[in-house]
Amino acid sequence: MLKQIKNYYILTSIIIAIVVISLVVSMPTAHGTLSSETTKKQQQPLLSIISTRDTPIFTLAHLTKLVNDTIMKFDKNKTCPTDIAIYIHGFNKSKDDAGEEFNRIQTSLNVSKSHIPIIGFSWDSKVPWELAKVNAKNSGAELVKFILAFKYKCPTTDIHLIAHSLGAEVVASTLSYLDIYLNDKISNNNPKIIKSVHLLGAAINNLSIAKGTPLGDAIENIVDKFYNLYNPEDDGLQFNKFFEKHNPLGLVGAPKGTLPLNYNDTNVINEILAISDADGDGNLEECFEEYSVVLGKGDNHCGYIGFRQPFSNSLVDNGAINIVVEEWLKH
C-alpha cells in the first residue's frame, strides 16, 4: 500500500510540474454569488468553488482550469492573495446543499469581519455513510493536488482549512497524503504548507489525532496551528458516537495521551444557538436535526458556520466562525 501511495505521488509531482508551466494560460470562470444580506455595506469575502462530484479525479487540464479560475475569481489581474480559506462540508450534502453552506459561511465570515477569499470544496457526500467515508478519503487525495498546484503558482499565499462534520475525514486524508508527499521536504527552515486547520464538529475518531498516528504526525509536520472546535451537546455527534462506537473528536475533544504540539481544543458549546434548523429551510432530516428536540445551546450539528432566519436568506448568528476568525487574527 505504501508503495502504491509513493508511486501515486511521484505521478502527482510530475503533473504538478507540468501544471506550473501551463498555469500562464487564463481560463474562463463561472462561480456562485451571494447577496449582501445583513451586511450590505461591507464587501463579502470572495468565493470560488471546486468539486470532485463530476470530476472525482483531477486531470492536468481540469487542475489547470481550477487554479486559473480561482486566481482570476479573486483578482482579475491574477495577483496571488495573501491568504485563502478552503471550506469542506460534511455528510449528506447535495450540490445545492453544499452551495448553501458556502453561501452561509461566506456571510458569517463577513459578519466576523474577515475578508479572506474562500474556496468551497464540494464532494459527493449524499450517499450511504460507509461510501461517504470512502469518498471523503479519495477527495482528500484530490484536494492535495489542488493545494500543491496553488502553492506552486502562489508560494507565499497562506492556506487555511475549515471542515465541518465528515469533512474532517477529507482534511485527515489531505494532511496525511501531503505529509507522505512532502516527507523530508519540510525542515525547520521551511514554512509549513498549511497555515491553520479548524475542524467544526468533527465526525472522526478522536484517537486518530494522537501523536504517532498518520494524522497526528501530519498535523505536527505540515500544519502551523491546528484547532478542534468541539461541542459536548452536539446531537449529530452523539448519534455518531452510538453508531460508530467511538468518541467523535468534535464531541469530546482530544483523547488522553501525547498530542501534536500545535494541537488546540476549544469548547464552542456557547456559540451554537438553541435553534434546530440551522439553514432555515424547514427540513429537520438533513443534519440529524430530527433525532432530538433542541433544548439548549449546543444541541445542533449544523450551526457551526452560522444560522439563518427560518425560510429567509438572512443570517441571525455566525455560529463558531467568530472563533475561527479570532484565531486567524492572532497569526
Q: Angle between the 129-153 and 2-22 helix axes, to the nearest 10 degrees?
A: 40
Which tens digits make up the pLDDT trace of 79-121? 999 999 999 999 999 999 999 999 999 999 999 999 999 999 9
Q: Tell me which long-range contacts 235-242 makes (C-beta under 8 A, separation of at least 24).
A: 235/288, 235/289, 235/291, 235/292, 235/294, 235/299, 235/300, 235/301, 236/165, 236/201, 236/203, 236/287, 236/288, 236/289, 236/291, 236/301, 236/302, 237/201, 237/203, 237/301, 239/288, 239/291, 240/203
Query: pLDDT confidence of 34, banded at 50, 70, 90?
Result: very low
Q: Name the residue with higher pLDDT: 313 or 317.
A: 317
pLDDT confidence tier of residue 21, bands split at 50, 70 and 90: very low
pLDDT at position 138: 98
Task: Label residue 36 by pLDDT band (50, 70, 90).
Answer: very low
Pairwise CA distance, residues 97 & 165, whole Å = 14
C-alpha closest to that of 48 among 12, 93, 87, 5:
87
Q: Is the CB of residue 131 less than 8 Å from the CB of residue 162?
A: no
Per-residue pLDDT of 217-236, as tens digits, reads 999 999 999 999 999 999 89
Q: Strands 158-164 and 83-88, how do they pair?
A: parallel
Q: Can you give the pLDDT at residue 190?
A: 63
The angle at the Cα of 258, spanning 256 to 259, to the nearest 5 degrees, equals 95
Which of residues 41 and 52 earns the better pLDDT score?
52
The more confident residue out of 184 and 30 is 184
Contact between 273 and 307 under an 8 Å Cβ cutoff? The reply is yes
Residue 186: phi and psi, rounded to 5, are -90, 130
CA 228 to chain centre: 12
- Inform me whether the pLDDT recorded for 10 exceeds 90: no
Please give the grid coordinates belonging to residue 245. Answer: 462506537
pLDDT value at position 330?
Answer: 87
Q: Is 90 exceeded by the pLDDT of residue 20?
A: no
Q: What percent of the chain has pLDDT over 90?
A: 70
What is the model's pLDDT at position 223? Answer: 97
State residue 11's pLDDT score.
Answer: 44
Mean pLDDT throughout 264-280? 92
Residue 27 clears pLDDT 70, i.e. is over it: no
- Its pTM stands at 0.87
Q: Nearest to residue 204, comparing CAs of 162, 240, 248?
A: 248
